[in-house]
Amino acid sequence: MQIDGPFPEYIEFFNEDGVLLRQHVTYEWIPSKCTHCAINATEDDSHLFSSCSYAAEVWDSLSHWWPLPFSNSPNTVEGMTDSLARYKAPKAHRQISYAIFAAGIYFIWYARNQRLFKNHRISASQIVCTIKEQIRHRFLFLNTPTCNYSIHIDVILG
């Protein structure tokens, strides 16, 4: 049986007299569905933060805004952090990339919890807007005394 598809309500079988019988199935346990995409996927970190269509939409939108050093799904959280750790870019550029990654993970988790515990659905595009706002505020604030991020501010504000 495919565990990522719907489970059958009935099974059918022939009894010893060759009569087709239909039996209703009661499941003691059903694997958890992903809160975001409603697929019967185990809601582990790799699904939730990478291979889930919701996460893929968030990372895809963010990478159109700021170049992230990891490809989209299929990936794992370890794969994404490895790519960030190996990323060869100027320090300010890396710092912004790390902050976007951290905000992405945080807000994908936040959106999942809002939906699961408060029945409040936040779209991927809304979450992307929130992440961008957080990053803009953070780096405008950090740039004020140091100007370390000045060359990136136009991109962040775009």
What does the binding site for Zn ion look like in residue numbers (CB under 5 A)?
Answer: 34, 36-37, 52
Other Cβ atoms within 10 Å of 30 Cβ, number: 10
Alpha carbons 75 and 46: distance in angstroms, whole number? 7
In the complex, what is the shortest distance from the CB of residue 8 to Zn ion, in angstroms, rounded to a whole number? 22
SS3 of residue 67 by DSSP: coil
In the complex, what is the shortest distance from the CB of residue 65 to Zn ion, in angstroms, rounded to a whole number? 22
In the complex, what is the shortest distance from the CB of residue 122 to Zn ion, in angstroms, rounded to a whole number? 14
- In the complex with Zn ion, the residue whose CB is nearer, 55 or 96, is 55
In the complex, what is the shortest distance from the CB of residue 46 to Zn ion, in angstroms, rounded to a whole number? 11
In the complex, what is the shortest distance from the CB of residue 40 to Zn ion, in angstroms, rounded to a whole number? 10
* Cβ pair 55, 49 in contact under 8 A: yes
* Cβ pair 97, 63 in contact under 8 A: no
- In the complex with Zn ion, the residue whose CB is nearer, 53 or 95, is 53
The residue type at 98: Y
- In the complex with Zn ion, the residue whose CB is nearer, 43 or 82, is 43
Query: Which of 140, 110, 141, 139 shows the shortest CA–CA distance to 127?
Result: 110
- Residues written for the chain: 158
- In the complex with Zn ion, the residue whose CB is nearer, 114 or 143, is 114
| Beta-ladder partners of 24 | 10
**How far is residue 39 from each of residues 2, 12, 36, 51, 74, measured CA to CA in Å?**
12, 25, 8, 11, 16
- Two tokens at 119? 């029945």
- In the complex with Zn ion, the residue whose CB is nearer, 41 or 92, is 41
